[in-house]
Amino acid sequence: IARRSAPLREQQVATSDGSTFSVLANIALAVEAQSVFAHGADGVGLFRTEMLFCERSLPPDEEEQYQAYSEVLKSAEGKKITIRTLDIGGDKPCEFLDLPKEENPFLGYRAVRMYPQFHEIFTTQARALLRASAVGPVNIMVPMVATLAEIQWLHSQFAHVAQTLQQEDIPIGEWHLGIMVEVPSTLYLLEKAANYLDFVSIGSNDLAQYFLACDRGNPYVRHLYDYRNPTFLALMRDITRRAQAAGLAISLCGEMAADKQMLPLLVGMGLTQLSMAASAITPCKEALKVLDVQQCRQLLETAIGCDTSEEVTECVEHFMRAQS
Ligand code: PEP
Ligand code: MG
């Protein structure tokens, strides 16, 4: 009998002990959405919106942004979609903003820190995102948050924009607010943050940069900028546990999620939502199927006890050889 394959939404992968995982895609353009779903993505865990804004003399208006976000939400057919608000500054330049030259741009005027000054750009994006929620549920994620005051500010700003749209009789649907966990201080904010947020996503690229004090693009410190560092693994474990204990949904959307060698450690941390480049999705799902969560937890504890990143790698390689 010919069997119809289940719709993509129902193809969530499970580990050998039956724990289910969402393997999501990172995208930078709205047009990518359709193809990532065709490649088996369970949703979009990170839509970086910077491309919409870069290499142009004026920012996109509300309508243009609304069209882009709606396109992704339409093709998602209800699958989970996380759209990140503008993340400029640091390694991400912006032509239409005359930004000051900074000695340490990664430690300076970036992303959420710029929203109060460039308020119209922020509000326009917030309006477009909330309007797009009428097309399908949307997770709105804010980068580079470091303090509770920023979270409170974001919460009240989005509530205000939603209220304004309602007063204008513009429909909005289901939306959730979250932040990237990419500044180490956020570990200690998670309990309080849960009063204002629905979810968080670990941005391991920046989190490693700020935790290990290594410019992520500087070749002189490349050997130190290493997510396999046992202390960094401990940090990620603690973030995941505390977020879950606080009732916040948690995912990972940094490059680390696409590293097959890291997968058993991520599973051991308790992460169940991983977002990565589309090309990594199928290999990740295949690798997940053979893992056992309990064994991964033990492996993670062993890895955290290691002295060096190299020892961590040896540990994981040994574990993976035993699996195959
Ligand atoms: C990160 O920092 O891990 C991340 C996903 O964001 P970006 O690489 O865009 O800074
Ligand atoms: Mg980042």
Instruction: With cut-offs at 50, 70 and 90, classify the pLDDT of residue 2.
Output: very low
How far does Cα 30 stand from its chain's mean position? Answer: 16
How far does Cα 72 stand from its chain's mean position? Answer: 16
The protein residue whose alpha carbon is closest to atom 6 in ligand 1 is: 203
Q: What value does the mean pLDDT take over residues 110-124?
A: 96
% of residues, the chain, pLDDT over 90: 88
Q: With a cut of 70, say whether residue 8 has pLDDT above it.
A: no
Given this model, what pLDDT does residue 11 score? Answer: 65
Q: Which atom of ligand 1 is nearest to the CA of 202?
A: 3
Instruction: With cut-offs at 50, 70 and 90, classify the pLDDT of residue 101.
Output: confident
Ligand closest to CA 145: 2
Q: List b or e across 101-131, with b for residues whose CB sees 16 or more CB atoms inside 10 angstroms.
A: eeeebbeeebbbebbeebeebbbbbbbbbbb
Q: What value does the mean pLDDT take over residues 237-255?
A: 98
Beta-ladder partners of 190? none
Gap between the Cα atoms of 281 and 12, Å rounded: 12
Q: With a cut of 80, say whether residue 91 has pLDDT above it.
A: no
pLDDT of 214-232, one tens digit each?
Answer: 999 999 999 999 999 999 9
Handedness of CA 255, 259, 265, 266 (dihedral sign): positive
Q: Which atom of ligand 1 is nearest to the CA of 182?
A: 2
Mutate which of 87, 200, 205 to test ligand 1's pocket (most atoms within 8 Å of Cβ)?
A: 205
113 CA → ligand 2 middle, Å: 14
CA atoms within 13 A on the CB side of 169: 0
Q: With a cut of 60, say whether residue 189 has pLDDT above it.
A: yes
Give me the residue label for tokens 């033990």.
298
Gap between the Cα atoms of 128 and 83, Å rounded: 11
**Cβ(247)–Cβ(268) below 8 Å:** no
Pocket of ligand 1 (CB under 6 A): 46, 48, 87, 182, 203-206, 253-254
Residues 6 or more apart whose Cβ sits within 8 Å of residue 216: 91, 106, 205, 206, 208, 209, 225
Q: Which is nearest to 252 in space by CA: 227, 230, 231? A: 227
Q: What value does the mean pLDDT take over residues 274-291?
A: 97
Given this model, what pLDDT does residue 5 score? Answer: 39
Gap between the Cα atoms of 151 and 189, Å rounded: 10
- Give the ipTM of the model, two decimals please: 0.99
**Cβ(56)–Cβ(283) below 8 Å:** no
188 CA → ligand 2 middle, Å: 19
Q: What value does the mean pLDDT take over residues 110-132?
A: 97
Mutate which of 253, 256, 262, 274 to test ligand 1's pocket (most atoms within 8 Å of Cβ)?
A: 253
Instruction: With cut-offs at 50, 70 and 90, classify the pLDDT of residue 282.
Output: very high
Instruction: With cut-offs at 50, 70 and 90, classify the pLDDT of residue 6.
Output: very low
The protein residue whose alpha carbon is closest to atom 8 in ligand 1 is: 205
Paired tokens of 230 = 């046992």
Q: What value does the mean pLDDT take over residues 174-199?
A: 98
Given this model, what pLDDT does residue 95 score? Answer: 81
Given this model, what pLDDT does residue 4 score? Answer: 40
pLDDT of 51-80, one tens digit each?
Answer: 999 888 899 999 999 999 999 999 999 999
Q: Which atom of ligand 1 is nearest to the CA of 203?
A: 3
Residue 97 DSSP one-character state? S
pLDDT of 16-58, one tens digit each?
Answer: 999 999 999 999 999 999 999 998 999 999 999 999 998 888 9
Gap between the Cα atoms of 184 and 234, Å rounded: 12
Mutate which of 86, 92, 142, 182 to test ligand 1's pocket (most atoms within 8 Å of Cβ)?
A: 182
Paired tokens of 23 = 């393997």
